[in-house]
Structure 1
Amino acid sequence: MAKNVLFEIGLEELPARFIDGAELQLAEKTKNWLEELRINYASIETFSSPRRLTVLIHDIAENQATIEEEAKGPAIKIAQDENGNWTKAAIGFTKGQGKTVDDIYTKEIKGVTYIFVNKVIEGKPTESLLPGFDEIITSIQFAKNMRWGEQTLRYARPIRWIVALYGNQVIPFEIAGVTTGNISYGHRFLGSELTIENPLDYKVQLRKSYVIVDHQEREKMIIDGIKLIEEKNGYQVPIDPELLDEVRNLVEYPTAFLGAYEEEFLTLPEEVLITSMKEHQRYFPVKSGDGKLLPYFVAVRNGDAHAIETVRKGNEKVLRARLSDAQFFFEEDQKNSIEFYINKLSNVVFQEKLGTIRDKVNRVVRLSKEIAEKLATDSNTTVLVARAAELSKFDLMTNMVNEFTELQGVMGEKYARIFGEDEAVAVAIREHYMPTSANGEIPGTLVGSIVSVADKLDTIVGCIGVGLRPTGSQDPYGLRRQAIGVLRILTERKWDISVADLFGIAIELYRNLNLEHFNKETVVDDLRGFIQQRVAFVLKESGIEQDIIQAVTSGEIGVIATILKKASILSAKRNEESFKPVQEALGRVLNLAEKTEEVEVQPQYFETDSEKELFAVYEKVASNYRMLIEKGDLEGAFHELETLTDPIHEFFDHNMVMADDEKLKNNRLALLNRIALVLNSFADLNAIEWKQHF
């Protein structure tokens, strides 16, 4: 009869952000482990809480599956001597497979005959293999690890107990001084020690001891508790998915309750209140039916409703103290001028080789002005851009942002309004940090977009110029994210600026600054490779195939919107059956054009009508192509290239390109090369793995 297997790793409280990833790893690693061992099972369940990671394997087979496989030995010429007797090589091979020479048979592979035997690998009892699960437990990866006591194992938190059961039998092994058993532990304060005798009773036993091991069930309990509060009071409680994920991984038995704070704190900016509740206390803010913030919050207790009033008062006291600090900071910050904070930026280092934050701001101002000039903005917009760039970092020196770092930019916008700055400047101070993630919201205003791009350009070019290019998973200055942010702004705002020209502005600025550690010689090449990788990432996220990405990024990176459009056109064409003749024609041109660098065509050397016709069509196509490219009609431009198909086929049908006459040969190659130059200006078509190959 099939049995069930339970493994529970008991730990000191795990950071909430580690739990979901660890549970996913546990599930995947367990499946792979069972598959590699050829152990059949019905299904796998995983569970998690702040103090445990668990996997339950249902109906596991009693034995490994027995398999029969073919073992290949040496070639027959090695396996037999000249008299047809088996050699030591053949005897050793069969012995190693648990067979004799009587079991040998031969097969031919690629013209060579080899000896083979069939061997049966008997399945071992599952019970004897289960202690090997210790390797799965120790292989789980965490963002940060620690060691404890005299143990050498590095893990997210110390392991305190391990439950390992095969049916009702303990699976024996040891990790970091902890021996397996059938003893688990319930809620730290409400639960007790538990003896697990049947893996299928695990969830129920833990529930009785105030631990909900299914994270989805905990999440539902939180949502249901919030809904009850909403229905009872007529409130709205917006549920932030990220906050919900974190809270359900902070508790083992969730109970939602309503708390309150003084109405006088509502005079603070709403962002301050919400940040205090969500980021610092893990509370859900409460709003009225029309979306107005109310002086209440919903918190989630790790436990039942016993003495909930005491818990509520304690949470209210903590929030009250934090909001009182915020109120003090808000009032104190307004006693100084913006210039006061700007001057303080000179005292804070941005990066040791790139100077202070004030130095960075000065560079961003210059870059912002040049970008505005490239975009041909009006004089008023240019003034607003310069002012927004100058004020972009001043709030970093305020008490409020020092205490609530998440509010950088947000408080800059608030204070800028209070100090009488133009609305466009105030909004741009907040927007210049956007997007804050690869897929985050981009700035909504032109001024904010320009300053955002300038700020990111400065960081990227500066850091790479002093040798801080990201490596592997290491990207401490977020250069990858910021580069993608630049590309997204360029794309979504449809700026007609090439990526190469844009970064060239920042490179030139740094060259003129003559910074001691800035490497002028290598920065261009380093940046080109870095930006190509980021453009490739954006294209891949848009569903573009790898070979087409290579085709459109092989040269200098131009206008990103143009690159995306070209990639989209080529991606659609590659699988069109009707495009096959075009592929063949263009491919023949590109392949032969590689044999020469000659581009000077001598019409007097044309011998056939097909040569003359191709040249005439080429000249017309090239002219129309350039005109359509300038207009931004990329589909029309590519269609022009397609019209070369028939003349190209005619040319190859009636002409020998590699003629004996050098003048004829060179002239024909020159013609093909001229056509190839136009084709390659669209993309490197040879890089594409066409469905119908050239």
Structure 2
Amino acid sequence: MAKDILVEIGLEELPARFVDDAEKQLLQNTQTWLKEQRINYETIASFSTPRRLAVEISGVAESQQSVREEVKGPAEKIAKDENGEWTKAAIGFSKGQGKTVDDIYTKDVKGTSYIFVENQVIGKDTQELLPAFKGIIESISFPKNMRWAEQSLRYARPVRWIVALFGDEVIPFEIAGVKTGNKTYGHRFLGDEVTLTSPANYVRALEEQYVIADPQRRQQLIADGLADLEDEHGFQIPEDHELLQEVRNLVEYPTVFTGSFDSAYLNLPEDVLTTSMKEHQRYFPVKDTNDKLLPYFVSVRNGDDHAIETVKKGNEKVLRARLSDAQFFFEEDQKQTIDYYLNKLERIVFQEKLGTISDKVKRIRKITEQLSQWLALDGKVQADAARAAEICKFDLPTNMVNEFTNLQGIIGETYALNAGENKEVAHAIAEHYLPVQADGKLPETREGAMVSLADKLDTIVGCIEAGLIPSGSHDPYGLRRQAIGLLRILHERNWNMTVESLLELAQSLYLDTGIEQSDQEKAGTELDQFFKQRAAYLLKSVTAGQDIIQAVLHDDIGVMAYTMAKAEELSKQRNNPEFTPIQEALVRTLNLAGKTERFKIDPAMFQTASEKELYDALQETKEAFRHTNEQQDAHQALQQLGRLAQPIHAFFDQNMVMSDDAALRENRLSLVNNIAALIRSYADLSVIEWKQQFA
């Protein structure tokens, strides 16, 4: 008869950002364990609150599935003697499996015959296996683990209780000095101890003690509460899914309420107000129907609505103190000039091997100026970009950024406008931090995009030059995210500059600083590999397979937008039967290339018309291909290479390339090398798995 299982881990309050992933791990690890143990079940559900992680499994079989397994023994030549009789090795093998030699059969494995027997593994009782569930709980990892008191277990927070039930029976095990039982606990202030008699009663029993165990239901209750307040007051609460998820993981029993603050604070920049509310207090800002911020906020209480007015006043008092501080910082900051803050950057270290923030800003400006020249921008854009680069970090020493670190750049834009900078310069200061996440919003202006690219390039090259290479999850300077952002900007802007030229530019600036660097050649190789890994990540976004990624990145990354376009084009042609003759000709050429190092062709040595025709086609194609390549037209460039297909086929059909005549062979191979070099300047087509071949 099937039974239900409930396992709940009771903890001190987990950080909100830990909860979802821990619940996911518990669910997935449980599913994997059940599959490995061959334990059948009907449904499985997971639950989480700040104080608990739980999994409920219904319809669990009372025993494992029995299975038949094949056991491999020694090779037949060892198992039998010269007379074909079973040896001691065979007899011992069969006996060890509880069988006799009559149960032995042979099978071929990779060209060698082995002996086998078949066993039936009888499933154990599920109840006998369940204490091993302890390992699932202990395997949950957190972004930050701690050891508590004298316990050896490293966990995010101390374990306070463990519920483990199989039907109405307790599954016995112990973790960190806590033994399993059938008692759980309701809301810390509103609930009581609960004795569970059945896993099926879990959700209802907790709700009676002011705990909503299902995080999705808590989230929906909060969303419904926000909607009710919008209807009641006629204002708008901007959708913020991340904040909603975070708040649901801060409470066990949500009650939504609204509060207010002095409208005089609306004179502060909107980002300051919303940051004070969202980042510091986890409040939802409120706007009118014209998207204008109102002097209200919405919060979520962890509990019922008892004395909600008192709770409201307490929250208003806390927010008032924060906004008062912000008002003071805002006014004090603007008593100083931009130059004052730039001077302070000289005393702020960027990284001990890479100098100060002021040193970094100087490099950012030089890179930005070079980008402006390469892009041939007009004088005003160049001047605005250079000025934005010069002052892009000036807000870092301000009181406001010190208090609200995530407003760096945003505060810079506000203060720059107040100091008389034009809007293009000011906005570039805000934009140069974009994208904040790898897939986040990109800078919208050229000035912002250039300074952003320069800043990221300087950070990445400097850190890798200094040996600060990301490893595993360790990436304190966010180099992976910044590299992806840099490549996305190049792609989005379609800027005709190679990644390699940018790396050389940044490296040259570091060489001029006199800062101690690691081995230059090694650093160059690591930079190349690092950016190719990030480029490969982005190429997957255009559904490029690994083979196509390898084809377009076989040499340099080059111009990112063009490389992406080539990957898209090759992905389209992979399954195009009409492209087959072209692909076969080009790949055949690539496969034969490299048989000689020679590239010089002597047309006087041609012996057949097909040799001359291919040579002439190569000369014509070179020029047309060069033009389409410069235009970065991936489709037309591949079409130009396709013009060589027919003369290539004729050349291979009518000539013995590997002639016994050494001079003739070298000349023909030189012709092949020249064509292969042209093809590889587009992509290494030989590494692509051309699907139509297997149709």
Query: Does TM, normalized by the shorter one, top 0.5?
Result: yes
Matched residues in 2 for 1:99 and 1:451: separation?
75
Q: Give 1:523 shift.
A: 2.6
Q: Give 1:368 shift.
A: 1.3
Contact 2:375–2:495 (8 Å) recurs in 1:
yes
Give the secondary-structure state (helix, strand or coil) at the position aligned to 2:377: coil
Q: Give 1:356 shift.
A: 1.1
Matched residues in 2 for 1:59 and 1:388: separation?
64
Q: For each residue in 1:160-218, what CA deviation from the matched residue of structure 2 results, as whole angstroms up to 9, or x when unmatched?
A: 10000000000001111110000000000000000010100000000000000000000
Matched residues in 2 for 1:555 and 1:151: separation?
53
Contact 2:355–2:515 (8 Å) recurs in 1:
no
In structure 2, the partner of 1:324 is 324
In structure 1, the partner of 2:596 is 596
Q: For each residue in 1:439-474, what CA deviation from the matched residue of structure 2 results, as whole angstroms up to 9, or x when unmatched?
A: 111111111111111111111111111111111211
In structure 2, the partner of 1:342 is 342
Matched residues in 1 for 2:501 and 2:573: separation?
30
2:296 is equivalent to residue 296 of structure 1: yes
Contact 1:511–1:520 (8 Å) recurs in 2:
no
Q: For each residue in 1:85-143, what CA deviation from the matched residue of structure 2 results, as whole angstroms up to 9, or x when unmatched?
A: 32221122112222222211223445433222111000001110011100001001111
In structure 2, the partner of 1:631 is 631
Q: For each residue in 1:135-156, what CA deviation from the matched residue of structure 2 results, as whole angstroms up to 9, or x when unmatched?
A: 0010011111011111001011
Q: Give 1:75 shift.
A: 1.8
Q: For each residue in 1:609-655, what CA deviation from the matched residue of structure 2 results, as whole angstroms up to 9, or x when unmatched?
A: 22222112222112211122122322112111112112111111111
Matched residues in 2 for 1:255 and 1:310: separation?
14
Give the secondary-structure state (helix, strand or coil) at the position aligned to 2:6: strand
2:311 is equivalent to residue 314 of structure 1: no
2:213 is equivalent to residue 217 of structure 1: no
Amino acid at match of 1:11: L
Using the TM superposition, name which of 186-195 and 466-475 deviates more. 466-475
Give the secondary-structure state (helix, strand or coil) at the position aligned to 1:397: coil
In structure 2, the partner of 1:22 is 22
Give the secondary-structure state (helix, strand or coil) at the position aligned to 1:124: coil
In structure 1, the partner of 2:98 is 98
In structure 1, the partner of 2:418 is 418
2:653 is equivalent to residue 653 of structure 1: yes
Matched residues in 2 for 1:391 and 1:567: separation?
38
Q: For each residue in 1:416-445, what CA deviation from the matched residue of structure 2 results, as whole angstroms up to 9, or x when unmatched?
A: 111111111110111111111101111111
In structure 2, the partner of 1:538 is 538
Q: Give 1:678 shift.
A: 0.8
**Structure 1, unpaired ranges of 5+:** none
Using the TM superposition, name which of 56-65 and 359-368 deviates more. 359-368
Amino acid at match of 2:410: V
In structure 2, the partner of 1:53 is 53
Q: How many residues align?
A: 694
Report the TM-score, using the length of structure 1 for normalisation. 0.98
Matched residues in 2 for 1:128 and 1:190: separation?
37
Matched residues in 1 for 2:609 and 2:346: separation?
74
Using the TM superposition, name which of 634-643 and 406-415 deviates more. 634-643
Q: Please give the residue correspondences for 1:56-75 in structure 2 after superposition, counting only pairs within 5 Å.
A: 56-75=56-75
Q: Give 1:291 shift.
A: 1.2
Amino acid at match of 1:132: A
In structure 2, the partner of 1:199 is 199
Using the TM superposition, name which of 635-644 and 320-329 deviates more. 635-644
Matched residues in 1 for 2:213 and 2:62: separation?
27
Matched residues in 2 for 1:30 and 1:581: separation?
52
Identity level (%): 59
CA pair 109-441 structure 1, distance change in 2 beyond 3 A: closer
Matched residues in 2 for 1:5 and 1:17: separation?
27
Amino acid at match of 1:8: E
Matched residues in 1 for 2:622 and 2:14: separation?
65
In structure 2, the partner of 1:362 is 362
Contact 1:462–1:518 (8 Å) recurs in 2:
no
Contact 1:5–1:165 (8 Å) recurs in 2:
yes
Matched residues in 2 for 1:641 and 1:359: separation?
48
Amino acid at match of 2:455: D
2:269 is equivalent to residue 269 of structure 1: yes
Matched residues in 1 for 2:624 and 2:251: separation?
67
2:447 is equivalent to residue 447 of structure 1: yes
Give the secondary-structure state (helix, strand or coil) at the position aligned to 2:154: coil
2:93 is equivalent to residue 87 of structure 1: no
In structure 2, the partner of 1:678 is 678
Using the TM superposition, name which of 157-166 and 78-87 deviates more. 78-87
Q: Give 1:519 shift.
A: 4.1
Using the TM superposition, name which of 510-519 and 640-649 deviates more. 510-519
In angstroms, what is the RMSD of aligned CA positions? 1.3
In structure 2, the partner of 1:240 is 240
Matched residues in 2 for 1:109 and 1:296: separation?
74
Give the secondary-structure state (helix, strand or coil) at the position aligned to 2:13: coil
Matched residues in 2 for 1:535 and 1:109: separation?
42
Q: For each residue in 1:26-75, what CA deviation from the matched residue of structure 2 results, as whole angstroms up to 9, or x when unmatched?
A: 11111110010011000100000000000001100011001112222112
Q: Please give the residue correspondences for 1:114-153 in structure 2 after superposition, counting only pairs within 5 Å.
A: 114-153=114-153
Matched residues in 2 for 1:391 and 1:680: separation?
43
Matched residues in 2 for 1:28 and 1:388: separation?
48
Matched residues in 1 for 2:590 and 2:83: separation?
59
Using the TM superposition, name which of 30-39 and 333-342 deviates more. 333-342
Give the secondary-structure state (helix, strand or coil) at the position aligned to 1:332: helix
Amino acid at match of 2:671: L
In structure 2, the partner of 1:497 is 497
Q: For each residue in 1:651-681, what CA deviation from the matched residue of structure 2 results, as whole angstroms up to 9, or x when unmatched?
A: 1111111111122211111111111111111
Contact 1:583–1:692 (8 Å) recurs in 2:
no
In structure 1, the partner of 2:434 is 434
Contact 1:547–1:687 (8 Å) recurs in 2:
yes
Give the secondary-structure state (helix, strand or coil) at the position aligned to 1:217: helix
In structure 1, the partner of 2:374 is 374
Give the secondary-structure state (helix, strand or coil) at the position aligned to 1:17: helix
Using the TM superposition, name which of 543-552 and 266-275 deviates more. 543-552
In structure 1, the partner of 2:249 is 249
In structure 1, the partner of 2:664 is 664
2:50 is equivalent to residue 31 of structure 1: no
In structure 2, the partner of 1:13 is 13
Using the TM superposition, name which of 102-111 and 269-278 deviates more. 102-111
**Structure 2, unpaired ranges of 5+:** none
Q: Give 1:693 shift.
A: 5.4
In structure 1, the partner of 2:162 is 162
Using the TM superposition, name which of 40-49 and 114-123 deviates more. 114-123
Q: Give 1:529 shift.
A: 1.5
Amino acid at match of 2:465: G
Matched residues in 2 for 1:75 and 1:174: separation?
46
Give the secondary-structure state (helix, strand or coil) at the position aligned to 2:45: strand
